[in-house]
């Protein structure tokens, strides 16, 4: 049996895999927040200079404090969702998720759930802003940035996808589907050596992962090494006999 990517946050989302999109794993530790240190009031040579004479004006103090805080990130607008255009079986689920996201615009979970439903119905351009909102609202959670990178890749926005997936892997470096998706995106961007190196590392670490061997073959073939692509293609087919793409 080959290593499966269809669990957890596997990149092949569909309405049938809706259950598999639910967060079910641990994520990265919280980011450290940069803060402004507090200094002691300055003193004159004799150590008795009145503090009130050395205080900055209130406006300047507020400006200094504001500069120490990260600039707030603007939330992208929620997509306009024409619920009636979806299959009748999914309309009620989508309507509830859309109404919840509109009613709770600052709730990361509500925004993310709407994105997951749109993702499952292959509405990648509509899912992306939902995931982006969830990522901003709850930046410590791994799944929102990973899923954002996934739909960006599906929509052909590969430069953005590479940035999102790299961010996801900084939080969880061992998450295999994110590594495979990043290698795919780098290949699509023409960054062939980077892509090949990532595929090869995956194939060495997970020899039962058919997608990694197939990726090695694709990257080698794209660089003109047709002969070198044959063996990894064969390995992919041996691991997954129905792997028609490698034939």
Residues shown for the chain: 247
φ and ψ at residue 60, rounded to 5 degrees? -65, -40
- Give the DSSP letter of residue 19: G
Predicted model pTM: 0.70
Q: Yes or no: say if 211 and 239 are a contact pair by the CB < 8 Å rule.
A: no
Of 215, 242, 209, 245, the C-alpha closest to 229 is 215
Compare 70 and 140 and report the one with higher pLDDT: 140
Mean pLDDT of 28-40: 38
The dihedral over CA atoms of 193, 222, 191, 140, expressed in degrees to the nearest 10, equals: -90
Q: How far apart are alpha carbons 95 and 157 in whole angstroms?
A: 27
For the stretch 143-169, pLDDT in tens is: 999 999 999 999 999 999 999 999 999
Task: Output the DSSP codes for 92-161.
Answer: HHHHHHHHHHHH-TT-HHHHHHHHHHHHHTT-HHHHHHHHHHHHHHSTT-HHHHHHHHHHHHHTT-HHHH
Provide Rg for the chain, Cα atoms: 24
118 has a pLDDT exceeding 60? yes
pLDDT, residue 190, reads 97
pLDDT, residue 241, reads 75
Q: Yes or no: say if 12 and 6 are a contact pair by the CB < 8 Å rule.
A: yes
38 has a pLDDT exceeding 60? no
Compare 108 and 50 and report the one with higher pLDDT: 108
Mean pLDDT of all residues belonging to the chain: 79
pLDDT-derived band of residue 42, with 50, 70 and 90 as boundaries?
Answer: very low
Q: Yes or no: say if 13 and 21 are a contact pair by the CB < 8 Å rule.
A: yes
pLDDT, residue 240, reads 86
For the stretch 195-241, pLDDT in tens is: 999 999 999 999 999 999 999 999 999 999 999 999 999 999 999 87
127 has a pLDDT exceeding 90? yes
Of 176, 227, 230, the C-alpha closest to 198 is 176
φ and ψ at residue 32, rounded to 5 degrees? -75, 140
Mean pLDDT of 35-57: 41
Compare 110 and 61 and report the one with higher pLDDT: 110
pLDDT-derived band of residue 126, with 50, 70 and 90 as boundaries?
Answer: very high
Task: Output the DSSP codes for 184-236.
Answer: HHHHHTT-HHHHHHHHHHHHHH-TT-HHHHHHHHHHHHHTT-HHHHHHHHHHH
């Amino acid at each position: 049996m080959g290593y499966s990517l269809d669990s957890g946050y596997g990149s092949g989302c569909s309405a049938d895999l809706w259950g598999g999109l639910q967060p079910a794993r641990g994520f990265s530790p919280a980011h450290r927040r940069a803060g402004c240190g507090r200094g002691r009031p300055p003193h004159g040579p004799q150590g008795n200079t009145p503090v009130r004479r050395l205080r900055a004006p209130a406006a300047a103090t507020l400006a200094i404090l504001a500069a120490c805080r990260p600039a707030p990130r603007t939330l992208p607008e929620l997509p306009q969702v024409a619920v009636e255009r979806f299959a009748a079986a999914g309309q009620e689920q989508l309507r509830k998720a859309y109404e919840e996201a509109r009613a709770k615009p600052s709730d990361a979970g509500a925004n993310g759930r709407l994105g997951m439903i749109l993702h499952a119905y292959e509405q990648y351009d509509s899912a992306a802003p939902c995931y982006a909102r969830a990522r901003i609202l709850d930046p410590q959670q791994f799944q929102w940035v990973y899923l954002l990178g996934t739909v960006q890749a599906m929509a052909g926005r590969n430069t953005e996808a590479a940035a999102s997936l790299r961010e996801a892997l900084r939080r969880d470096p061992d998450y295999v589907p994110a590594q495979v998706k990043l290698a795919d995106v780098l290949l699509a961007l023409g960054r062939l050596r980077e892509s090949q190196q990532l595929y090869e590392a995956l194939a060495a670490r997970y020899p039962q992962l058919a997608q990694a061997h197939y990726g090695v073959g694709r990257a080698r073939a794209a660089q003109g090494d047709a002969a070198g692509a044959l063996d990894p293609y064969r390995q992919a087919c041996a691991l997954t006999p129905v792997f028609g793409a490698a034939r």
